[in-house]
A = this chain, B = another copy of it.
Amino acid sequence: MLFDFTYYNPTKIYFGKNSLDNLSGELANYGKNVLLVYGKASVKKNGIYDKVMTVLESAGKNVTELSGIKSNPTYTQMLEGARLVRENDIDLILAVGGGSVIDCSKGISAAAYCEGDPWEKYWINEEPVTHKVVPVGSVLTMAGTGSEMNGGSVITNEEKMLKKGRVFGTNLYPKFSVLNPEFTYTVPKYQMASGIFDIFSHLMEQYFSGEDDNTSDYLIEGVMESLVNSARTAMKDPQNYEARSNIMWCATVALNTITGVSKSQDWEVHMIEHQVGAYTDCAHGAGLAVVSVPYYKYIYKYGLDRFVRFAKKIWEVDISSMSKEDAALAGIDALAEFIKEIELPSTLRELGTTEEMLPKIANSTALGGGYKQLSVKDVLEILKTAY
């Protein structure tokens, strides 16, 4: 059943090979002072930094730079960005990178004019941001998180050993995002696969929740099918534009909230992974891949029909002569097979987790769940199976 919801997503997307051509027009909407946020050396090596800088210079902008944003962006980096915003009277934060860089940029925007402790207010207490924020725009270089068209901001507080996501309101959505699939070509294969699984996990987190049949379920299945299809092509031929453009757009659609309306959703795989990530700094999608199969094997009995539907519709398992139980498990096995196919790990050990970390991870995981509400003990069981 479709329960009451509000849907509003005012981010403007420019998609395609020539999408960067729209940047100068967008820049005209903002003042002179731009904070350029990016990650490691890769955007300099692949030429994207130079392309963006050329546009910024032609537009006569004063550019302040914040570089070195980590794949799990840290609270310290975020506070440093907030300081730069204040000191340079920044008019626009331009994120050039993947979800980490965009997540960090939203955090910078929220923190810059915050009175009090942003971590407590915005990540722990999840207060709405009502003071002045600085507009964020993005040039995306990696497909996965969907941060280019939503309010999500996952930040790692190193001091507290906590990786915590916050979904901000539309005032912190990127005003615009430039999505050129060719900009993702230089992403290493492992990172590409990690992004693909991040997208797939976003879809599963929405799909595996308790409502009856609704339109969102069908939309999710559509995106899942398209993603699996294009992932297979991209693994064989990473520079296949059709596949890479579909993957990029799947990432956006999977988490711009259109597929999730009126779904209570789960997100426990993400909660567990966040703490695996806090302890190991692993690639987010790889962490999700490791956690997913043990998690779904642990909870599938509580949402049996939906797991049967998953097997039939997404993996085309011939379930005609199977029990529901077997059909559901066959679907999860097909998921495990897909993880192998895109060459991601299947154990926590491969991510650098040690046995001593397991209880610490379990104890610090935010408890929730979809078909089944989890306890610390449940999480520990799942981690042990995943180990």
Give the interface of A toward B (CB within 8 A): 1-19, 22, 181, 212-215, 217-223, 225-227, 229-230, 241-242, 245-246, 249-250, 253, 258, 261-262
**Which residue in B6, B17, B212, B218 is a CB contact (below 8 Å) of A242?**
B212
Considering residues A3, A17, A219, A230, which has the most beta carbons from chain B within 10 angstroms of its beta carbon? Answer: A219
On whether the beta carbons of B16 and A12 are closer than 8 Å, the reply is no
Known A-B contacts A215-B223, A222-B222; the reply to A246 vs B2 at CB < 8 A is yes
On whether the beta carbons of A16 and B7 are closer than 8 Å, the reply is no
Shortest 9 CB-CB contacts between residues of A and residues of B = A4-B16, A222-B222, A218-B222, A2-B245, A218-B226, A8-B12, A7-B13, A215-B226, A10-B10
Chain B nearest CB from A40 CB (Å) reads 28
27 of the cross-chain contacts (CB-CB < 8 Å) are: A2-B181, A4-B16, A4-B17, A4-B18, A5-B15, A5-B16, A6-B14, A6-B15, A8-B11, A9-B9, A15-B262, A213-B229, A213-B246, A214-B242, A214-B246, A215-B223, A215-B227, A215-B230, A218-B222, A218-B223, A218-B225, A219-B219, A219-B223, A219-B226, A220-B222, A221-B222, A253-B258
Which residue on chain B has the smallest CB distance to residue A177?
A: B7
Rounded to whole angstroms, the CA-CA distance of A230 and B253 in the bound complex is 23
Rounded to whole angstroms, the CA-CA distance of A107 and B227 in the bound complex is 39
Chain B residues, Cβ within 8 Å of A225? 218
Known A-B contacts A10-B10, A219-B223, A242-B214; the reply to A2 vs B249 at CB < 8 A is yes
Rounded to whole angstroms, the CA-CA distance of A144 and B190 in the bound complex is 44
Chain B residues, Cβ within 8 Å of A5? 13, 15-16
